[in-house]
Amino acid sequence: MKQGLLIVVSGPSGTGKGTVCTELLNQTPDLAYSISATTRQPREGEVDGRNYYFLTKEKFESMIEAGGFLEYANVYGNYYGTPLKKIEERLAAGEDILLEIDTQGACNVMKKCPDGIFIFLLPPSLSELERRIRGRGTETEESLARRLGAARGEIQIGRQYRYVVVNDTVDAAVKRIQDILTAEHCRVDRNESLFEEIESK
């Protein structure tokens, strides 16, 4: 059975990662979403094993000690991470797995999974990014400036990724990512069994 693809999508806050990834999953039946683990409390309506794996801090830290995460981070006092065993099992079963994580997490995954498909999502421009963040109506001028400064730094890190996709429209961005996945599935080094099958006939 062919190994599945590990697809990592990152981009600055306000680029539309969540929207693009949700639509990508809706339009790509063979693509599965990686469920993260966290130590934060469930929010109303969230279900363990569907939205997140909700773990105690002690359980999470014991998994860290055992090397049980593909990547993890402590964000404002709560841990978030990608359970390694579940990813490995699903990839071995031939599933394509989508990870939507920040650049810090993605850089850690690059070290462990250099054959992953790393896609950096860019806004059409920084001014458009600012417009989108302002449109949320959740930011002060100070926090907006901080987010835009962080975005510039993340864009520099984006140069380390294998692919870049501009999110000018969600449908166009999704189509570009689907095209990347099709090309990756057609790589010769992923299809040795096809050559063997033809040669055996």
Task: Return d(Cα 9, Cα 106) in angstroms, integer.
Answer: 8
Task: Return d(Cα 57, Cα 188) in angstroms, integer.
Answer: 44
pLDDT higher than threshold 70 for residue 15: yes
Stretch 130-154: mean pLDDT? 82
The per-residue pLDDT for range 81-119, each reduced to its tens digit, is: 999 998 999 999 999 999 998 898 899 999 989 999 999
The per-residue pLDDT for range 175-196, each reduced to its tens digit, is: 999 999 999 999 999 998 889 8
The per-residue pLDDT for range 48-65, each reduced to its tens digit, is: 998 899 999 999 999 999
pLDDT for res 90: 92
Stretch 157-167: mean pLDDT? 96
Are 28 and 118 in contact by the 8 Å Cβ rule? The answer is: no
Look up tokens 């959740």; give the residue.
138
pLDDT higher than threshold 90 for residue 22: yes
Stretch 15-19: mean pLDDT? 90
pLDDT for res 1: 62
pLDDT higher than threshold 80 for residue 135: no
Q: How far is CA 173 from CA 49, 97, 119, in A?
A: 28, 18, 11
Fill in the amino acid letter for 63. Answer: M
Q: How confident is the model at residue 134 (pLDDT cuts 50, 70, 90)?
A: confident
Task: Return d(Cα 166, Cα 129) in angstroms, integer.
Answer: 12
Written out in words, the top-level CATH class of the domain with range 6-199 is: alpha beta
Task: Return d(Cα 190, Cα 91) in angstroms, integer.
Answer: 13
Q: Which two tokens stand for residue 16?
A: 């539309």
Whole-model pTM: value is 0.86
Q: What is the mean pLDDT of the chain?
A: 91
Q: Which two tokens stand for residue 58?
A: 């002690």
Please give the torsion angle defined by the CA atoms of residues 180, 83, 156 and 162, in that order, rounded to the nearest 10 degrees: -20
